Amino acid sequence: MAAGTGPPESKAYPHESVASGGNDGNLGIKAPKLDVSALAEPITLPFSGRTARNRFLKAPMTERLCHWNQEDEDTKARGYPSEEYTRLYERWGEGEIGIIVAGNLMLRYDAVEAFGNPILQDDHDNRTQAFRKVAEVAKKHGSLFIAQLSHPGRQGGAALNPNPVSASDVQLKIEWAGNKFNKPRALSVPEIKEMVKLWGETAYLCQQSGFDGVQVHCAHGYLLAQFLSLTTNKRTDEYGGANLTNRSRIIFEIIDEIKQRVNDPNFIICVEINSVEFQPGGQTPDDCKNLCLKLEEAGVDLIDLSGGTFEGRAFEHKKASTRARESYFIEFAEMIRPLLKQTKVYVTGGFRTAAGMSAAISSGACDGVGLGRPLSAEPYLCKEILEGRVTGAIENFVPLPLNTQATGTQLQQVGMGDRLVSDWSDEGEVQRWVEANEKETARKIGVLPKVDSSGFPPLKAEVGFEYLR
């Protein structure tokens, strides 16, 4: 998979390209110009009462731009917001996105997804003030700003997570680019209770840092997804078994703890969950439907539907019926939304045109659309769609499954303040990136077990999109 010999995502669904020219992107996805008023509609979240200015949500991604400890530094130095991290969120704030979700904010210094993750376990170095600066620039133009709280569980690389914990001792047995995962230890019940308190404390610190709310990350194979899934939860106590109530117990304890610790009725609580796992024995659609109903009962403002794990990648089209509608998970959203009376449903993954996004909302399939990779290539895409300047995203010819890795390079370029973001609709620029990725992968493997970078290959764009226009 690391070789990236698969077809690009642009080949996975029917569409035409249109030439843009200059520094506006070599090729864009062709789409009709139509009424996008559905996307511009404000939306009020039911339990917090907060109102988002439009139906766009910047989906959480792993930016890996925060300060990291040197070998002679304490691990408590890691995860501190950098100038690059702040600048990236400033750009998204300028893009006038309804809700901006900051990705992979970690709860512990010793349990991380990757080098460069933001971490908010405590405030020993006044990092809440640094995060407050991030929140200020992200919210300056009217966006709501939410932190995605995450714990990797078994899904943190061995070099940075030598002693992982999980619901059970089921090891993630995949490797790529030198990364491997140690066998986790099952959390004891007292440790689960401490973990719940940790989520509440980080949520409180987020509130103190100026965030409008938090997203509890229950998707993509991370710790809470490990409790939900029968493939990784082999427990026989009150946190496991065939009963979904037991497997989801930790999630509702966390939601209750956040409410008690933050103690602010206007603080947003949302959840990201997998609609499906794309692997045998994983979370089923019925599990997800039942979980969504319980989340509404718990007072969750917004559910963001996504899918997939490290073992079963989902950010590509699996069915012909979703290709024509762009979103990978739109059909599942149509099953969920009618069941919920208050909680809002957003769908992330696959949207590339204003027509597809607008249709998803106008048809009643969902209340809002989440965008990830398109907003790394075009930080102001939402604003420009609403202004009628563009109707579709820039094409992406990066071979699967390397598109996520290539997105990381673009995030670094925006964070560094580069004038151009690499244009993945240009075959030559893609090839330059593939070569840079192979070089960085070899370098990373050569220095293991030391981890000294985000892993995203650095690249100065030669053919790029001039987003600061």
Please write the tens of the pLDDT for every residue from 337-367. 999 999 999 998 888 899 999 999 999 999 9
Residue 163 pLDDT more than 50? yes
> pTM of the predicted model, to two decimals?
0.93
SS3 99: strand
Q: Which positions ≥6 away from 393 have C-beta within 8 Å? A: 28, 29, 352, 353, 374, 377, 378, 381
For β-strands 51-52 and 43-44, DSSP reports them as antiparallel
Give the C-alpha separation, 354 to 30, whole Å.
10
**Tell me, what's the pLDDT at 87?**
98
Cα 309 from Cα 276, distance rounded (Å):
10
- The answer for 8, left when phi > 0, alpha when psi is -120 to 50, beta otherwise, is beta
Preceding peptide of 285 cis, ω within 30°: no
pLDDT at position 306 is: 80
Contact 337, 345 (CB under 8 A): yes
Average pLDDT across the chain, whole number = 90
Phi and psi of 119, rounded to 5°? -135, 135
Per residue in 48-100, pLDDT tens?
999 999 999 999 999 999 999 998 899 999 999 999 999 999 999 999 999 99
Phi, psi of 108 (to 5 degrees): -140, 150
Percent over 90 (pLDDT), the chain: 76
Pair of tokens at residue 467 = 């987003």
d(CA 449, CA 463): 35
Residue 387: helix, strand or coil by DSSP? coil
User: What does each C-alpha distance from 346 to 58, 214, 248, 271, 392 come to in angstroms?
Assistant: 11, 15, 21, 10, 19
The arithmetic mean of pLDDT across residues 246-269, rounded, is: 98
Which stretch of DSSP H or E encloses residue 262?
A: helix 249-262
Helix (H) and strand (E) counts for the chain? 15, 16
